[in-house]
Structures are given as C-alpha cells and as structure tokens.
Structure 1
Amino acid sequence: MGDDGLTLAVRTVFARACEPEDTPLPDTLRPAIADELDRAGHEGDPRCGLPAAAAWADAERARFTTLFATAELQGCADVLVRRAVLACAPLASTTGAWLQWMSEPGNAEEPVTLRALALFAADVGAGHPGASRGDAYLALMRHVRVAVHARPAARLAHDRRIADPSFYLPALALTMSRRPDAYRGEIIGLDLCSRAVGLPPPLAGVRTRRPDAVDWAALDPGRARGPGLAPALDDARAVAAAFTEAVGPAGTTAIERGFAWAFAALRRWSDEVYRELDAARDPSFEMAELMRSRAREASAYHDRFVMRGRPLKQWLAEARTDPAPFLAALADSRLVRPGRSGASRLTGELVSESGRMFRVFPDADLDVINRWIDALPADPAERARLRPAAHQPRSIGFRPAPDTAGDTGAAPADLREAYTRLLRRTIKPATRRYALRYVEGWLARSRHGMKPAARSLPAEPPADGLRPWLLDQHDLHNSEFQAGSDSPLPDRAELIDSTLQLAPLTLIDGAWLAGHTDYQLASAERGHFLFETYWDELGNGEPKLNHPLIYRAVLREMGIDLPPTRSPEFAAWPAFRDPSFELPVYWLAIGRFPLTFEPEILGLNLAMELSGVGGSYRRGRQALEQYGFSTAFVDVHNTIDNVATGHSAWAADAVDGYLAQQAPAARTDAWDRIRTGYRSLNPPSGFWARNAARRARVEASAHV
C-alpha cells in the first residue's frame, strides 16, 4: 500500500473502500478494525438492542427537529439544511452498501446469502437505473445544491465541507464489506442497527424544511422500498436469524459485536453533527470556517494591505489555526460596514467585475460573508466581545499494519485449485494475479483469427442498436432447432455425463457478473441490467427459483449428489474432467474485474444470455423429458433469457448504452473489446489460438 507506519485518514479509507475491484485495505487495517469493534463495549450491552436503538433514534430526531425550529425563528434554517445534508452524505449515499459482497459464487445456494442479497437488491432498486437509496440521497444533495463531489460516492472524500466523523462509520463498514469471510456476522449486525435506527437523525430537521424534496421513505433504511413489501428492518432480522441458525452462538456474538459498534458510532456521530449545527447558527462560525479553509492560499498575497499595523498576509497566516483575531480586525477595518453587507467593500467593490477579488469567492462563500457582516453589531464595544462559536471536529485516522500480503502464498497449482479459490470474494494477491493472467490469456485466444461470421457480432456496431440483430439470431436458433428436430437425442448415459460435466459451470451461474453487485455499479445506467441478471440467476431470494439449487435437484434425479460448491471436495470430485473447469475459471476470474474488463463482460454476458434461447434449451428439454428428468432448469432459462423482455434483451441494451457513452474515437476500440468478450464464451481451441493465450499470459505476468 505504501502506507506502512503511517496513519491513513478516515476519508482516504472511505475512498479506497468504495473501489469495486480488489484492494489490500481490509487486511492492512485488520488490527485497527478489531480495535474499533472492541470499543463499543462488552458483549450483551443492554443499550444495544433493537428497541433501544429505535428509542434513541426517535429521541434524537426530535432533538434535531427542535434545533431546526429554533434556527427557523432565527432565520438560519437553510444553513443547517445545507450542513446537515453534507454531514449525512457519506453514510446516506452508501446505505446498505456493506452488503455488496455478501454473495459470492461459492455460497449462492445458502439461505443467508439469498436473504442478504434480497435485502441488498431492494437497497439498490434492482431492475431500475438510478433507483438506489444512495441515488435518492443524491437527489436531495442536488436539491440543496451541495452535490459537486457527490458522484461517485468515493469523491465525497474530496469535499472538505464534510468533517472526518461523518466518514468514520461508512469507511469501516465498507472496508469490512470487502472481507465478508472475516466480518460476515459483524456486517449483518451493523446493517441491523442501521435499519433499526432508520432515517439518520440530522435529516429529520431537513425533512421539516424540505418535505417534498425527495423520496424520504427511500432514505430510511428500515422502510420497505415499495407498496406491499415487508419493512427492510424485518428482512434484516430474517438475515440475522438465518445466520445464527447456520453458525450458532458464534454467529450471535458476531452480530451483537457489529450492532454494538454501529450503535456507538452512530451516537457519537450524531452528537458531533448536533454540536456543529448548533454552532453554525452563529454567523461567525461559518465565517471562521471559511477563513480557516482559505487562509493558506490567501496568505501568499496581501502583503501590502495593513490592518491594525500588521500586513494582512500575517493575519491570514495566523488565521489557519485561529481565525478569531483576524475576524475581529476585519470587522473593524475599512473593508466592512458592520450590519450592512450591501455597503461593504469586501462584498461589493472588491468582488465586482472590476474589483481585485473578482471571482475569488463563489456565491456560497459570499453568502457566508454577507451573513457574517449583517450580524455584526454596530457598537465596537459589542464587537470586541464577540468570538466565533467553537466547534472543531476531530481528525480521524487509522494506523495500518505492515503490508506483508503482497507476495504471500503461491498461485493456484491447477484449474481445480483455482476454481476453489476464486469461488470466494477474498483472495490472496497471488491468486488475483493468476486470475488477471488467466483472463488476459483467454481474451487473447478469443481475439485470435476473429472474422465476421453468422455466430459472431457484426464487424461494426449496428446504427440502430442490437435489438434487430438479436431477433435475427433468435430466428437462426429456431431454424437450427427445427432443422435438427429429427436428429437422435443423446442416450441416457451421455445426457447424465454432460449434465455432470456442466456442473462446475452451471452451479456458479452468473459468476461473470459477480463484480456488479458493487453498490455503485448495481444501480448504474448500464450496470443495473447486469445486476438484475445476476439477481435473477440466484432466484431473486427464492430458493425454489435459485438456478444452482434447481440444477442440483436435476443432478440428484440422475443419482448424483455433489458436495457443496465451495468445498475442496467439489473441485476434487473424481468424475469431473479437467477441461470442465476451463470456462468456469474464466467466469470466476473476469467477474472480479468489473471495471477493467467492462466491455468484455458486456460481450460475454450477451453471448451467455443468448446462447440457448430458442434452440439448445429446447433441445435439452427434449432430452431431459425423454428420460423422465425435470426440465425446470432449461425451461426457466428459455423464458427469462428471452430476446424481447428478458436477459438477452437486457444484455443488448447494456451494450448499446455502453457504446452510447463512448466518444466517437473510442467507439471502435470499445466495440472490438465487446466482440472479443462475446466470442470468449466459445473461443477457438486450435494450436495458434492457445499459443496466443500463452503469450498474453506471459505479458500480463510482467505487468502485475
């Protein structure tokens, strides 16, 4: 990381934890996270139950509502609205994001995973772009006009108007989300606490001022996301119950630990925000903040202007730590007319189009200065007694452990070991490098000798989008099915063997899209198609619709009862042949890099969703039906992958959306990468193609 022995600022931790691809941050912060979790108190703290959290939140929201009512009488409620919205931004913009990696290809059949993914899907508004709880909060920030650093959420770390304490809880929660293997119970506990608390207390005051500004129900993580749905708090309880049932007492302890930490962190943060907002009712508070933030750059100038016998440059240099003396001198200077901002040179002549400070202060800063001047008493004696309200939020940092993870562990020895390792979200750096090399090699093989053909994407992106091409492909599949309708079906032994050999692939259905469970991607304009596809593959939280479970049921009908997918025994199953792991490892590997290989994933997704519709699924149904096996697996795919409203259509729309956002000069390269991804579902297997793959893996090794 390059941070050994240093302290990482909490906003740095927040920004890094928002990155969707692998990061060593959770490992280097492991001791710091343990210390923070242990700060919340001992196990069984009576303050940490659901009723206590809900009661505290109600009382806290009432406290903020009263504060805003007081500010309303004083004419400064809008100041508090702006500051409260900013203070809540890191938390409210990432509500539920700590659940983003709770599902992984190796646990896609487990009840806890299905319940957690259902809860997360509601948070991100599965199936709708820009419909996450975070997007609802973005709408509020835009309404209040404080959204300059709001998208993506990582950029909030750049906004110096937001104090460190507002990053503390989301920074650690998101960091833990990148290590669900280590913090699964704690993540469930902190999520349960968030739902029990509901609408962040400072926002209660904002809601009284802007009741129609936003979908307020979406900003309450304990509320349902739609009519007729259960409250999210009830769903979070169900997740906790399922985890406790699966893990036992250790699971309960972990949940309580996460809940206690989150509740303590929320109480500290809310107190911090309340003190800030209370202080901000005094115009001199914001003026002092402004001067402190701008003094460093301003002190490079103004060496000729003198106040009270000293150059303005000196005043400004001291204002970086204590702006009160400077503000007192400024109030008495010829630049300011106390009580009359409209007549003051500082907010008039100097900042006019012909003034020496034109555009030095943006409108928001001028509002702060005007408010401060208008509140200054005319009597010099009264002004002498003024001092800005004091509230300096604490800086927060974490000391990482030495980063020894960089070269620990060996790369997987073979495909079976790679398969087992890549089933998990958390992998060692050596395995990550293996995955990157594997993808690069596979894509090089897919690019080899690529020419326009009936089975490939067109050489150029269709001007009217992919939907017409999609229908042509469907017609082709149907024609081939009809033409082969008299062909003999495989015998029973062949059918069982082919079904078994597909198990390593089919039991990780959607693995190429696993990276799109990331909060920011799952609700994005094109990413929402990919997340909803992934969500469908896992059954939308319903075990009876879960594709891996449906496939296991077919295998059991065939007399095959495989070990759990995530277990080493699964990959070692002697009836599997080694080549049966080649494509699954590619799926697992590329799914780890949703940004690095975005166009290739879009192409692969289109190929995968279209591959069986209208043709091979129908052929498979005939074979299964002939021998009395359930056809549920092929039936569900032939319907949900349809080319009109199903996964194939979504895949085409995602590609079209991606291309539309590319600059014209970049579109050709993007399309070539999409075509490569499309072909990667079934790449050439000849000597020269595999030789291209070997060369690409060697080149990739030199850069990772």
Structure 2
Amino acid sequence: MSTVAQSSCSPSDDLLTDRLTSLPLDRFECSPGTEESAAGILAGDPGELFRHLLRDQESETSVLVALRVVMAFLRSVPEPADGSAPMTVEDVAGAVVDVTREARADLVAAVARTGGGDAGVRGAVLRRRAPVAMLAGCWLDIVSQPLTQPSVIVNQLFQHHFRYKGEGNEQRAVEHLRRRALEDEGVRLPGILAEDFNARAGVHPLTALHAAFFVALSRLPGRFLPETVGVHYAFHALGLDDLLFATEPVLDEAAVRAPLDAYLALTEQSPDGAAERRRLLGAVRLVVAMEKEQSALLAEVADEEATLSLEAKAARILRRHAPFAGSQHRGVKLGDRLLADVLGDPGLDFDAFMAEFRSSYHLRELRSGGSRFTRALKFGGPMFGIFDAGESAVLDAWVREVQEGVPTPAPAPGTPGADARAAARRADLTGTAAGDGVVFAEPRETYDDRTLFHRLVHAESFPSIRRAAAARAEQGLLDGELLLEHGAGGRYTDASSFTYTPQALLDRVDRVYWEKLVEPYRPLTEIPGRDEVIFHQMTFALANLIDGTWACRIGNLGRFDRRSDALLFGIYADEMGRGELAKNHVVLFKKVLDSMELRLPHIRDEAFLDQGEIPDSLYGFSIHQICLSLFPDSYYNELLGYNLAIEMFGLGEVRLHEMEKLRRHGFDTAYEKTHLSIDNFSAGHARQSAEIIISYLDDVRRTAGEEAVQTEWRRVWRGYASFAYFVEHHLVKEIQASPAPGPDASADADLMI
C-alpha cells in the first residue's frame, strides 16, 4: 500500500486530494541474469556508466543499475548523531535551510576562485561542469506518471518540470539554454546524448558519477519521492550553475521552497512521516556534499588550467585527435615505427610519445622557419583543417618553445583531490547491495490482466515486467494491423492505410472528424437509466484514470531536440493540468466518480486489484497504453499515431452523448466538457496531434529522404490502428469472421475501452 496522509477533510475532498508522501521500498523484482550485467556496468568506467543510464531508459538492467547507483549515493551520507530521534517538521525545515544556506556561502567563495578574467580558465571550468549543468532538473522527468498522479506534491513538482522544459518549447528548455550559454563562453559541445559528448566535455570520473546519480534518480522518482523533493530543493537552493554562469535562476530558492514546505506538511499526517523527513534531509545533505565535491573539482581544474604549460596544452590537443589519426599518415615515421602504428597502439604511453615527438625531426626548425609539423598544419598541408584556430595557435607556440630549448616542464598538478573522491564513490558503487530489496525471480510466462496492470503501474518496483510489457505492446500493434486493410469501415476511426503526404494526413483526419465524429451526432431522444449511465462510464474509467500516460516519458533528458518532442510533451502537460490540480484530468474524472458516489482505490494500491466496478475485460486498452509508454524510444513513431487517435476520439458524438446522459442524472460533466474543448479540431490537441506527425516526418525527410519518410510513416499509422482496434469492436469481429466486411459492419459498434 502507498503511504498517504490522513486528513480531516470531507470524504469528497479526501477522495480528490492525493496526499502521497512515499511508496514502499520492500520489493524490487528483477529477472535472473540482470544482476551480472548490472554489476559489470557498475564496475566499469564512470563515463560509460553515465552514458549507459542516459541512453538506455527502457531495459530492465538499466533500472537495476539506477537503483544500485541511487542506493550507493544515499548510503554515503552519514547519519547525524541524533538520527534515531523523532524529527519534527519544524526541525527538518530548519535543518534543510541552514545546511543549504551555509553551503551556498561556501560555494560563492569557491566559485570566485574558478574563473577570474581568464577566458581559458573559465571555459575549462564550465566545460568540466557541463554534464551536470545540462541535466539539471532531470529528476523530475517522470515524477508525473500513473503511479504518482494526481498527488499534491507531484503536481507542484510538475509545474517546475514544465518550466524546465521551456513550457513546451524545446528551444527554451534549460538543457538547450545551458548549451547556448556554454557557446557564449566559447565552449561548444554536442547534445548530451552525442557519442563524443564525454570526450568533448573532458568529463572527470567524479562528474560522471554525480551525473549518473541524477539520471538514476530520474528513473525512480516514485520509489524515491522524499529524496526527489530533497534533491530538487537542495540543487536549486545551492544554485551552483547560476553562480558559475552568472545567470538568473530558472527556479530560485523561494520557488523550490514551496514544494518542500508542502511535502513536509503532508508528512505531518503520514504514518511514516518521521522516516520520510529523515530521508528528505539525507538527500539534501547528499546534494550539499556532491556540490561541494564539484566546487572543489572545479577549483582544481581552474588551478590546473591557470598553470598549464604549453607542453601540457599541446599534449591534451594531440591526445584528443590521436584516435582519429588512422592510416592516412602512410610512410610518416616516429623513430623506427610508422606514426599510424604508434598512435593506433591501444597501450600507448602518451607521456613517452610526447617525449619522443619533442626530439623527433618533425619539430626541428627548418631554414625557412617553422617545422615540418607546423607546415603540415597550414593551408595546403596534409593536416590543414584538422585542428581549429585556437589549437593550431597552441601547437605553433609549443613548437617554438621546443626549438628554443625550453626544457620539459614538470607535470601539471592534475586533480588529485577529485581523483580520490571519485575512487571513493566508485568503491561505494561496487560495495554490498544488501538491504536494497532486490529479488531475482524468473518472470511468469503470462499474467492475468489485473496483476499485469498493477505491475505495470509499479514498473519502478517490477523491472522484470518489461519483458511482458514489450511483448504485449508488440501484440497490440500487430492486432491493430488488421485494420490497415479494412479500417475504413470503422465507426469512429479510419485506420486504413494510405501513402503519406502532409496534405493526405490532414485530409484523412478531416474526413474522420466530420464524417465519423461530428455529422453522425443527433441529440439523444431517450436517456438511459442512472445505473446504465454509471455502468457505461465505468467502461471508460480505467483509461480516464491513466489519462495522458502514453506520453508521460516523452521529452526525458537528451530527448527534447525535435519540435515533435516539445509538442507531444505539451499535450501531456495539458492532460496533467500543467501541475494545477483543479485542471488535472485525473482529478476531473475523480469528480465524475464522486458525483456518482463511487469510491475506487488508487490504481497503485493493492486494494485496486480487488475492485469490482471495472470488469476484467476492459483492462486490455489501458494495458496497451502503459506498455507503449514504457518504451518511448523503441515506439516513438507508434506513440505519435496513437496520440492522434486518442485525441480525436473524444470529439463530437461520443462525448456530446455522454454529456447529455451525465447532465440528465445530475452527474459531473467537467471531464467531458474539458476534453471537448481542449481536444478541439481547430487548434486543440486533435489538430496539434496531426501537426506533431507532420513535424516529425518533415525532420525525417530532410535528414533521410522520402523513402525513409514512408517507412517511418507506416510505423506511425500502426500506432493509430492499435488504438482503433480497441474502439472498433464490432468491425474487428466482422473482419475476423469474414474476409470482406460490408461498409456498415460497425454501425452498432460497442466500445472496448
């Protein structure tokens, strides 16, 4: 059961106010074999650990790695001497503010040492900080999901997430703003998912481990809700990036104080409140420790850069380009070996290479000036264009220094303090895993729909369910392909295939809107009885309680570059009321249930497994939606098509008839009214959904050509058809019974949602 604070509110208010404060930590179920693969990733290079977590948001192994990373960091925080004593809300609030305020003062002083007026030093510092600066706020990526909605605290956090994502504009998202700020400082980096990001940023192992923690937490915000609140507050209250970049904060201390205070107030009525407050405070202390480690690292980087010799700068440049030397050097030798062989040696001792290169004929001064090496860098030379202007200038100066007989300087001081801290953090990662609740058990071959739905909602605690989820998602898409040939006969949809052009898509959705959704509407001449209306509403209930789920993982860190990402994220934000509970669609539907005097447990609760209001036969639609949502990379195209179908479905006849029936019996109609308005075909979600597809396929056309557009399009439309499969019940039966259904086969279609 989730931990939900009790309240003196009326039953109606209590039903509509989700006071979630934490979820159980007692079970984390993985398949056998994931332990070994996760252990290998955790024991590997920190940069590769960071890359793995960043690039893989779908696999079971990645979720286990995320758990182990989060637990290792949390365990590194020493318990205060009085940690076992009860901690009041006031105690914790005061401790949080005190510890962050004191640490921020230290950071202000530390930052003053890292930049100064030297552009080279400042650029080096910002480059090393870039991985953490660009991922700021990622811990909120999926804080909003079926497991946690419509929690009071989650919606407050989601308001901040919406701001971090540029309020649906990808160019205003913090990740992109930070990259442009780096460019303004002369630091040009690719996107954080790029293959060469770590190398270009010169990611230190300590920074990679810190970044891995934040990304790992972003995969498990429901399981670690107290920690997420603490991390969110501490990171912004400290404001290290704004100090470094000299920018105004996106979220200042006052802004992040609001969800902190709200959360602490909720824990006051929670049975586990004292433990939750300790967990939050522990997370705050952890972030303080990490940011102090970062400031110390950056101070070492600044000192190293300020005292870096030309020799060391040249070595850094040559080391970065060495892997790309290849065989184009042909007969060029260094000593008695081909230069290509020297640079291609995986065991190359670069210090020894630099010593040999210094004394080689390549750097000897020519009578006409310069050297063979520097001439090769000039226009017309074999290495022209390999090094940028700044790098070429450093290499020129270094060669002159060598020719003047300047002795080899002492090695640069490096970052010994940060190296030691990184080693300690790595030791934490490979330490004992006892007490993390992980159980390794072979997943079942099949699950009944209620159990499957429960585990999908709790996917953070049941990573092993992803195998079944992937199979179920694919089966749902295959089922939908039935309508690619015969879908024109649909009552509410037309999933029949067609060749994509932007205009062809707009024509299709226009016909569906008018011919299938609007023109068939006639006011009801007879209103069903109260019980029948309630029963019919319950056929929609499960889908409405997970409203927006298909898009809840769209726009995660590193995946917010395309206009289609931002538009789809904007639709999800609207479904969640942009963080305002009164506009949250799940809350609106709970009001409908409340007006019918229906009391359903939250879908995350064990009690929901035994609820008797929603028949087992109606779980399939919602299961398909959640399964697709767990694979936002693998099924991105299909999610775009599915989104179009579901946003169009509620327009016209279906929703208008529901409003007539609800109104007649005095039931709440806000949910139906809101969707009829927000999904409108003129400028609302229905129209936006078509534009999202056009935007995405336009990107495909410009980067991969028309043939690729049609390939990607077939997958998009497969997603649309998978939705149609669930609403065109009678048409599906007719198709399965006969190879050639008549045009009116679905005239009396029932809904399977």
Q: TM-score, normalised by structure 2?
A: 0.78
Match of 2:14 in 1: none
Instruction: Compute the displacement of 1:186 (Å).
Output: 2.0
Instruction: Compute the displacement of 1:156 (Å).
Output: 2.5
Quick one: distance in 1 between partners of 2:431 and 2:408?
Answer: 45
**8 Å Cα contact 1:107-1:113 kept in structure 2:** yes
Quick one: distance in 2 between partners of 1:514 and 1:690?
Answer: 33
**8 Å Cα contact 1:26-1:176 kept in structure 2:** no
Structure 1 residues 337, 198: CA separation in 2 closer, same or farther (over 3 Å shift)?
A: farther
**8 Å Cα contact 2:549-2:626 kept in structure 1:** yes
Instruction: Compute the displacement of 1:175 (Å).
Output: 1.2
Q: 1:528 aligns with which of 563, 566, 580?
A: 566
**8 Å Cα contact 2:38-2:61 kept in structure 1:** no
Match of 2:430 in 1: 399
Q: 1:447 aligns with which of 464, 481, 489?
A: 481
Match of 1:163 in 2: 204
Q: 2:51 aligns with which of 15, 22, 26?
A: 15
* Greater alpha carbon shift after TM alignment, 314-323 vs 594-603: 314-323
Quick one: distance in 2 between partners of 1:186 and 1:201?
Answer: 22
Structure 1 residues 661, 312: CA separation in 2 closer, same or farther (over 3 Å shift)?
A: closer
Structure 1 residues 512, 547: CA separation in 2 closer, same or farther (over 3 Å shift)?
A: same
Match of 1:187 in 2: 228
CA-to-aligned-CA distance 1:534-581 (integer Å, 9 cap, x gap): 222222212221222221222122121111221132232123211121
Point out where structure 1 has 5 or more consecutive residues left out of the alignment: 208-215, 225-229, 693-704
Quick one: distance in 1 between partners of 2:476 and 2:232?
Answer: 39
Q: Does 1:680 align with 2:722?
A: yes
Quick one: distance in 1 between partners of 2:226 and 2:185?
Answer: 37
**8 Å Cα contact 1:275-1:391 kept in structure 2:** yes
**8 Å Cα contact 1:20-1:515 kept in structure 2:** no
Paired letter, 1:399: T
* Greater alpha carbon shift after TM alignment, 50-59 vs 421-430: 50-59
Quick one: distance in 2 between partners of 1:361 and 1:494?
Answer: 75
Instruction: Compute the displacement of 1:605 (Å).
Output: 0.8
Match of 1:287 in 2: 314
Q: Does 1:277 align with 2:302?
A: yes
Instruction: Compute the displacement of 1:511 (Å).
Output: 1.4
3-state secondary structure, aligned to 1:623: helix
Match of 1:475 in 2: 514
Quick one: distance in 2 between partners of 1:118 and 1:155?
Answer: 33
Q: 1:423 aligns with which of 436, 450, 457?
A: 457
Q: TM-score, normalised by structure 1?
A: 0.83
Quick one: distance in 2 between partners of 1:51 and 1:371?
Answer: 50
Q: 1:40 aligns with which of 45, 54, 77?
A: 77
Match of 1:227 in 2: none
Q: Does 1:384 align with 2:407?
A: yes
Structure 1 residues 202, 432: CA separation in 2 closer, same or farther (over 3 Å shift)?
A: same
**8 Å Cα contact 1:193-1:263 kept in structure 2:** yes
1:113-192 matched pairs, under 5 angstroms = 113-144=154-185, 146-152=187-193, 156-159=197-200, 161-192=202-233
Structure 1 residues 582, 347: CA separation in 2 closer, same or farther (over 3 Å shift)?
A: same
Quick one: distance in 1 between partners of 2:267 and 2:516?
Answer: 44
Paired letter, 1:270: S
Structure 1 residues 131, 243: CA separation in 2 closer, same or farther (over 3 Å shift)?
A: farther
Paired letter, 1:223: D
**8 Å Cα contact 2:472-2:624 kept in structure 1:** yes
**8 Å Cα contact 2:502-2:694 kept in structure 1:** no
Instruction: Compute the displacement of 1:263 (Å).
Output: 1.3
Match of 1:366 in 2: 392
**8 Å Cα contact 1:293-1:320 kept in structure 2:** no
Structure 1 residues 489, 155: CA separation in 2 closer, same or farther (over 3 Å shift)?
A: farther
Structure 1 residues 5, 420: CA separation in 2 closer, same or farther (over 3 Å shift)?
A: closer
Q: 1:351 aligns with which of 350, 364, 377?
A: 377
Quick one: distance in 1 between partners of 2:330 and 2:513?
Answer: 73
Q: 2:633 aligns with which of 577, 590, 595?
A: 595
Quick one: distance in 1 between partners of 2:654 and 2:98?
Answer: 54
Quick one: distance in 2 between partners of 1:544 and 1:635?
Answer: 14
1:238-277 matched pairs, under 5 angstroms = 238-239=262-263, 242=266, 246=270, 247-277=272-302
**8 Å Cα contact 1:641-1:647 kept in structure 2:** yes
Match of 1:695 in 2: none
Quick one: distance in 1 between partners of 2:369 and 2:204?
Answer: 34
Quick one: distance in 1 between partners of 2:716 and 2:355?
Answer: 63
Paired letter, 1:633: Y
Instruction: Compute the displacement of 1:197 (Å).
Output: 1.2
Match of 2:532 in 1: 494
3-state secondary structure, aligned to 1:231: helix
Instruction: Compute the displacement of 1:306 (Å).
Output: 7.3
**8 Å Cα contact 1:64-1:201 kept in structure 2:** no
Paired letter, 1:518: N
**8 Å Cα contact 1:279-1:389 kept in structure 2:** yes
1:505-520 matched pairs, under 5 angstroms = 505-516=543-554, 518-520=556-558
1:71-150 matched pairs, under 5 angstroms = 72=117, 77-144=118-185, 146-150=187-191
**What is the alpha-carbon root mean square deviation over aligned residues?**
3.9
Instruction: Compute the displacement of 1:637 (Å).
Output: 0.7
Instruction: Compute the displacement of 1:268 (Å).
Output: 1.2
Q: Does 1:461 align with 2:512?
A: no
Instruction: Compute the displacement of 1:346 (Å).
Output: 5.7
Match of 1:27 in 2: 64
* Greater alpha carbon shift after TM alignment, 361-370 vs 268-277: 361-370
Paired letter, 1:130: Q
Structure 1 residues 642, 363: CA separation in 2 closer, same or farther (over 3 Å shift)?
A: same
Match of 2:448 in 1: 414
**8 Å Cα contact 1:16-1:25 kept in structure 2:** yes
Q: Does 1:434 align with 2:460?
A: no
CA-to-aligned-CA distance 1:126-184 (integer Å, 9 cap, x gap): 32123211111122344456445324367523536222222221211211222234432
3-state secondary structure, aligned to 1:348: helix
Quick one: distance in 1 between partners of 2:582 and 2:680?
Answer: 20
**8 Å Cα contact 1:304-1:311 kept in structure 2:** yes
Quick one: distance in 2 between partners of 1:691 and 1:179?
Answer: 45
**8 Å Cα contact 1:179-1:425 kept in structure 2:** no
Quick one: distance in 1 between partners of 2:347 and 2:527?
Answer: 84
Match of 2:111 in 1: 64
Point out where structure 2 has 5 or more consecutive residues left out of the alignment: 1-33, 84-91, 739-753
**8 Å Cα contact 1:504-1:584 kept in structure 2:** yes
Instruction: Compute the displacement of 1:509 (Å).
Output: 0.6
Q: Does 1:546 align with 2:584?
A: yes
CA-to-aligned-CA distance 1:516-542 (integer Å, 9 cap, x gap): 152334564212222222222222212
Match of 1:231 in 2: 255
CA-to-aligned-CA distance 1:35-84 (integer Å, 9 cap, x gap): 33232322379997434434443543454345533xx3xxxx23223322
Instruction: Compute the displacement of 1:26 (Å).
Output: 4.1
Quick one: distance in 1 between partners of 2:223 and 2:214?
Answer: 13
Paired letter, 1:453: A
**8 Å Cα contact 1:515-1:594 kept in structure 2:** yes
**8 Å Cα contact 1:489-1:623 kept in structure 2:** yes
Question: Identity across aligned pairs (percent)?
Answer: 19
Match of 1:222 in 2: 251
**8 Å Cα contact 1:190-1:259 kept in structure 2:** yes
CA-to-aligned-CA distance 1:574-620 (integer Å, 9 cap, x gap): 23211121111111111111121222211111111111223322221
Instruction: Compute the displacement of 1:417 (Å).
Output: 0.9
Paired letter, 1:17: L
**8 Å Cα contact 2:127-2:202 kept in structure 1:** yes
Instruction: Compute the displacement of 1:645 (Å).
Output: 2.1
**8 Å Cα contact 1:169-1:262 kept in structure 2:** no
**8 Å Cα contact 2:122-2:302 kept in structure 1:** no
